[in-house]
Chain A
Amino acid sequence: GDSVTQMEGPVTLSEEAFLTINCTYTATGYPSLFWYVQYPGEGLQLLLKATKADDKGSNKGFEATYRKETTSFHLEKGSVQVSDSAVYFCALSAGNNRKLIWGLGTSLAVNP
């Protein structure tokens, strides 16, 4: 069945460091791919999305490119801030019911 695999956390970085959080997927058909962010004590917010191969989603300095050949959707940011500390979830939506399939989440802590 469809699945999403995310790199395990926690990830700890210093401010202004480069961030990569890996995400790979398996899916039948052509899924849409998403990154969601959960700040401490809050619900999830959509960070960015891509709906077809080679699309690049971007928001708040974060980027992810839909790579069909490697079935990946890695999240990147060139210079992280303390305010980026959160849990990041990779997800896909596919199939007739278009249910979201979630990765387990990656916790990011950015130190000043």
Chain B
Amino acid sequence: GAVVSQHPSRVICKSGTSVKIECRSLDFQATTMFWYRQFPKQSLMLMATSNEGSKATYEQGVEKDKFLINHASLTLSTLTVTSAHPEDSSFYICSARRDTTLFTEAFFGQGTRLTVV
């Protein structure tokens, strides 16, 4: 299957600083990538849809100024958590969508464990 690489896998940052998480599709082009946040009891929350060359579409309740998404190329999307606070500590997962004429399939990165201290 296709490979999506997410980096870093773990990051610890101080409150008030910003953290950038990268998501790369290694062997296919992804015009659409998704960013999720996963809470401790396993539910997966879609934060935003990242579209190459255009602005991201944020889900209701997600602050676009806090979670900056950039999809500068067909293989790279970045999520920047700005002015991070302890409540932003979570597991962030990206996925890249590969479309065929018959169906859509999503491939996931390994996730990033963010801890804000």
Interface residue ranges, A against B (CB under 8 Å) = 32, 34, 36, 38, 42-46, 49, 51, 87, 89, 93, 97-100, 102, 104-105, 107
Contact = CB atoms under 8 A, between A and B. Distances in A.
Contacts of A49: 103, 105
Contacts of B99: 98
Contact of B1 (A38, A42, A46, A107): A46
Nearest to A38: B42
Interface of B: 1, 6, 34, 42-44, 46, 49, 93, 95, 97, 99, 102-111
B112 to A, nearest CB: 9
Given A44-B93, A98-B97, A100-B34, A105 B106 contact: no
Contact of B103 (A32, A43, A102): A32
A44 B104 contact: no
Contact of A89 (B1, B44, B97): B44
Contacts of B106: 34, 46, 93, 100
Q: Which of B44, B46, B97 has the most chain A CB atoms inside 10 A of its CB?
A: B44
12 contacts: A32-B103, A43-B109, A46-B1, A46-B107, A89-B44, A93-B104, A99-B34, A100-B95, A100-B106, A102-B46, A104-B43, A107-B42
